[in-house]
Structure formats: structure tokens, C-alpha cells
Structure 1
Amino acid sequence: MNKILFILSTKAGSSDFKSFKENIINTYTKHNMLENLKIVETLDKEHAKRATQEFIELPYENKIIYSCGGDGTLNEVASVVYGSNTALGLIPMGTGNDFSKNFDYSNFKIEQTINPKISPIDIISINDRISVNVMSLGFDTSVLRNVYMILKKYPFFKKHSFMLGAIYSLLNIESDTLNVELNLANGKSLVLNDTYTITALCNGRYYGSGFNPSPNSILDDGILELLLVKKLSLLKILKLLPKYKKGTHLNNKKVAIYEVTSGKICSENEIYANCDGEIFKSKYFNFKVLKNSILWANLK
């Protein structure tokens, strides 16, 4: 029998966590599973990690944690749970919910969380952190920084923050000069030196509130996709973005995508990057795929 923890990230999105919690309790009561259930509502930034660590140390054979929030909360839980025998699942209740777009939640019901199908997926290791979905540099991280800045100053702009952040970034387009060393999935090596407006290292297919940088990414194939978009003018990036949203951008002359297993991205100066929406700075990004590192709870 599964021991199940729901982590409700009350800082994520605008979901009604009170009614959702009641739904969980009612469903598990109906199925005589209440003694197998634990619910934690996060109180601070590190609470999800602490709750995850405490749960995976419990002496139960079959354990599942459901991250109920956005991609940032999922990353926090995954950073603790990976490599363990505790499975991880996602109930998307955040703002962007990009990782959830790799799955079908159209007919989701709480009952599906009781006995999910468990199978392993890959994640990305970058320096001293992990990414479940996408690590990116350049334009999209600039947009994200502006979104966070807008939300901090003007929280009432929540629904329009991404659009406003994108407009600000378009008016101040930044590109990064990078040295890129790649170990390709075919066993060969490749070195690149150029200036890029967008750099995205992808395990999943979607990020940035629904953009599709890597339409062919598979979560359990042991391969990452590195997307590189060479320096673009305002006009060219405006032409690219609609296709980038749909995942039909790969035939653009400024766009290249590589199947990789590991590599290194370097810059002379510290630059901003983000892992699953969490922003950080570095001069270098050592990365590799961690194949089958998380047991994933598929809700079908």
C-alpha cells in the first residue's frame, strides 16, 4: 500500500487550496485510505524541501510525494527526492505550470493519485543544482527577471506580468557571448563560440508560460536538447516568437538544436540563468543528464 504526501505550495498561483485539500481528504476517506495520507501546507520557502526530506526517511516501502504548485515547487521537491526510492508526481496549481504540459491532465481526478503508474524520468544536473524541465540563459531569463520585478512592485499586475516583462525585455534585448563545449548523444564532441540571444537546455518541451523550445524532447531517453539562437534584432525576434511558441521554429537559420548528454557553457562575465523558473548567476554552467534519476508518478 502506498504512503502518500501532498505538498501544497500556498505561495504558488492563485488556486483555491482550501477546497482542494478538502477534496483530497474526502476522496481518500471514500477509498479507506485516510491513514495512508499526509498533507503539508508550506509556510516558508524551504518548507517543501524539509517536508520532502522528512517523508523520504519514513520506513515505508512505497512512498509517493505530490507537488501541488508550480515548476518552482516541483524543482524544490525534486532536488531532495531524486536518487531515492520515493516517487514524485505533480498536480499543477502554479502560474505557468510548464512541466505539466508534458502530460495530459485534461481528465484529472484525485482518485488517480492513489495508485499511479510509476516509471523513471531524467533530470538535468547544472553546477550544484538540478532542473526537472529547462535551464535557460538570455532573453527568456531577462523576461522572467522583469516579471518577478513587476510582481514585487505591482502584485496586482499578476495576470499581465508576463506580457509586461516581455515588452520590457524586447525594448532592451540582451545577448550573451558564450563558449560552448558539448558531448553529443552520438558520441562526438563539438565546440561553439558565438553570441546568442536565447540558450535553452531542455529535458521537457515547454517553458516560459507555454513556449515550446524543444518540441521533440522526451523525458526518459537519456538525452537533453540544447537550443541555441544566435543574436537577433528586435524585428527578427518578433518574427521568431510566434513560431517559438508553437514549436515550429527549428528551420530558422538562426536556430540550432543539439542532442547532448553533457557539456559546459562559459561566459567571461557572470550572467543570469534560471532552472525551472529559479534565477541564479554564474560564469559557467557544467551540465549533464541524470538518466532515470526520479521515479515519476504518472496520473492516468
Structure 2
Amino acid sequence: MKYIFVENPIAGNKKKQLLFRQVQSAFRLSNDEMIIEPTKGPKHAVQIARQYAEQYGDQAVIVSCGGDGTVHELANGLAGTDTPLMIIPLGTGNDFAKKIYGSKKLNMENVVKSFGLHDGNLRYDVRPIDLIDYNGEKCINIMSFGADTLVETIGRKIAAKVPLLGQSAYTAAVLPVIAKPLRYRMNIDLNCIDKDGHAFKLTAEPHEYALMAICNASYYGGGFCPAPDSVLDDGLLDMAYIDSISLLEAAPLIPKYADGSLAHDGNVHLHTCYVTSGRVWSYEGAPLLGNCDGENFDYSEVHFKVEPKALKLCFIKE
């Protein structure tokens, strides 16, 4: 079996390099092959994943050694193939990794040891998960619109300037965003399912909102949790949106939105349901204020749908 470690050279530190050397030593004692592929720019990870998937199929595992951006690109390269993805969290947010590993194991040392990469005794389960298709691209985690996209954008800039802040950079980014009225507009036409399993359409031209998250997983923006009960392989996307609100209304919601409890406390400003597909488009023709997996996009219209069991993912063996 070939294990291709796709490395974002920007992510991680000297600790990562020491860990890599330990893993390399373990592979020398095994019958498996370790290949390191550094990324050289945007979308390069997509190309690497496709190349190995086409050449080796299920005889290779692509190992993500970066943050959510690397995971996003590799998911795009591996969607619909027989080659599984393994994730070692090395970024600032590592939001998708929180879903599959939980907070206790969410560091590279724990994940490497749990998979047996440190001693060559590899152990893991491979299971298919859903993806979100949006305008032909793939999203593994969350697609969102509105205030949360601003938080993501500002948080990333803060993290780049002050790396020591880590995930706290995204918390700091909340303040300048909520200082202004959280009022955004876009048109929506969504195919939804309520919690009792009844299908319905949600349409509005325009729809006023503070933020909207369409979730395959649970966490985004450095740890905010709009969908604590999301299931990665149920063929459904969890949607949460918050009404257009003022600073006074937003302030008490933020801690609950961060820890996931807002989804369960019946707040009148939060609306949740499942969604399987839909269309979102700009109210005024300008690009939408949106992102997928923390990567901003400039579409003025987005068509999306859930793609059931589209990606094979490595899970820690229980």
C-alpha cells in the first residue's frame, strides 16, 4: 500500500518535521511505502490526489498534512474515486477534523499514534461519507453565507499576522463583525426536510438573514458549531440560519453558537432543518458573501446538492 503524505509547507512547525521523520523510520520497517508530496500553490493538492487515485485506486491512501484548505482540495481530488483520505490536523482551525476525531484526540501526535503511523502497525477503518456539490466543486465540511464568512475572512488575516493566537484569532474576529447590524440579503430556493421527515420548499426573494450555514459536518470558523448533530453519511445536510439581528440580540447568542447549544435551546432567531439541494443567488447581482470549507468564493449564484457517500474517509479504529 502506498501512503501519499500531501504536505502544506506553510502548516505545522519543527514539531511536524520531527514527527515526519519518526513516521518515515516506521515505514522503512514495514511493507508499505511512504511518499511525501509538498503542495506548490492553490489547487495543487487537487492535482496530486487525482493523479494517485487514477494510478493506484484503492491501493493508495492520500494523507492530508495541513489544515482545512488542504482537506478541501484533497476531497475535491478524491471525490468519486476508490482512494481514501486520511487526515492529520496541522492547520489553525482544523474544523473538519474536530468532527471525526473529537477535541481529545485533536492534535497531530494523537492522530498519528491512533492510526499506527508512528510504529508502522497501521490500523484504521475506511467508510464513505457525503459531500456537498456546489457549482461542480465539492465541499466536505460547511458552506456558509453572511456574517460567518466575514468572521472567517477577518480571522484568517489576524491568524496570519499573529500566529500565536491560533484559533483565538477567529474569536477576536467576531467583535468587528457584530459591531455593525447583521443584515444581509440574498434569494433562496431550497429543498428542505423538517425534523419529522416532511419535505417542504423554502423560498424567498429576498431572504434577510445574519448568517446561513449548510452543513455536512459540525464545526467551522475556528470552532463554531452550528450543527452539533450532523451525520456524515445520512444523505442529508443540516441547515441553520439566524435572522437579521442587532448587536444586542447577537451578543448572547455567540457563546451558544460556538459550543453548539444554540441548536437545542429553541431560540426564536435560529431556524434549523435538513436540506438536500437548492439554489442561492445574489439579490443585487453582486458576488455572494459566502465560503466553503473556509475558502471564500465570488459566485453570484450557487446551485448545490448533497452527494451521498461520495468520498472514502479513514477513521480511527475503535
Please give the TM-score of this superposition, normalised by the length of structure 1.
Answer: 0.91
Partner of 1:257: helix, strand, or coil? Answer: strand
Alignment of 1:98-177 (within 5 A): 98-104=95-101, 106=105, 107-108=110-111, 109=113, 111-112=115-116, 114-151=122-159, 154-155=161-162, 158-159=165-166, 161-177=169-185
**How far apart are 1:15 and its partner, in Å?**
6.5
Q: Which segments of 5 or more consecutive residues in structure 2 lack a partner in the other structure? A: none
Alignment of 1:254-293 (within 5 A): 254-269=269-284, 270-293=287-310
RMSD: 2.1
Partner of 2:209: helix, strand, or coil? Answer: strand
Aligned to 1:220: 233
Match of 1:246 among 259, 262, 285: 259
Could you tell me whether the CA contact under 8 Å between 2:115 and 2:124 is conserved in 1?
A: no
**How far apart are 1:55 and its partner, in Å?**
1.2
Aligned to 1:188: 200
**How far apart are 1:91 and its partner, in Å?**
0.8
**How far apart are 1:173 and its partner, in Å?**
4.1
Aligned to 1:70: 67
4+ runs of 1 displaced by more than 6 Å?
none
Aligned to 1:230: 243
Aligned to 1:33: 31
Percent identity between matched residues is: 31
Any idea what the Cα deviations from partners look like across 1:138-189, whole Å, max 9, x if unmatched? 111111222234456x356754532332222122344222322121244433
Amino acid paired to 2:192? L
Could you tell me whether the CA contact under 8 Å between 2:182 and 2:246 is conserved in 1?
A: no
Partner of 1:296: helix, strand, or coil? Answer: strand
Could you tell me whether the CA contact under 8 Å between 1:8 and 1:17 is conserved in 2?
A: no
The alpha-carbon distance between structure 1 residues 242 and 163, as it changes in their structure 2 partners (threshold 3 A), is: closer
Q: Which segments of 5 or more consecutive residues in structure 1 lack a partner in the other structure? A: none
Aligned to 1:19: 18
Partner of 1:206: helix, strand, or coil? Answer: coil
Amino acid paired to 1:78? A
Amino acid paired to 1:239? P
State whether structure 2 residue 47 is matched by structure 1 residue 50. Answer: yes
Amino acid paired to 1:166? V
The alpha-carbon distance between structure 1 residues 53 and 257, as it changes in their structure 2 partners (threshold 3 A), is: same
Could you tell me whether the CA contact under 8 Å between 2:187 and 2:283 is conserved in 1?
A: no
Q: Distance in 2 between matches of 1:90 and 1:212?
A: 20
**How far apart are 1:10 and its partner, in Å?**
1.8
Amino acid paired to 2:294? G
Amino acid paired to 1:254? H
Partner of 1:123: helix, strand, or coil? Answer: strand
Could you tell me whether the CA contact under 8 Å between 2:45 and 2:77 is conserved in 1?
A: no
The alpha-carbon distance between structure 1 residues 292 and 237, as it changes in their structure 2 partners (threshold 3 A), is: same
How many residues align? The count is 296
The alpha-carbon distance between structure 1 residues 285 and 149, as it changes in their structure 2 partners (threshold 3 A), is: same
State whether structure 2 residue 222 is matched by structure 1 residue 205. Answer: no
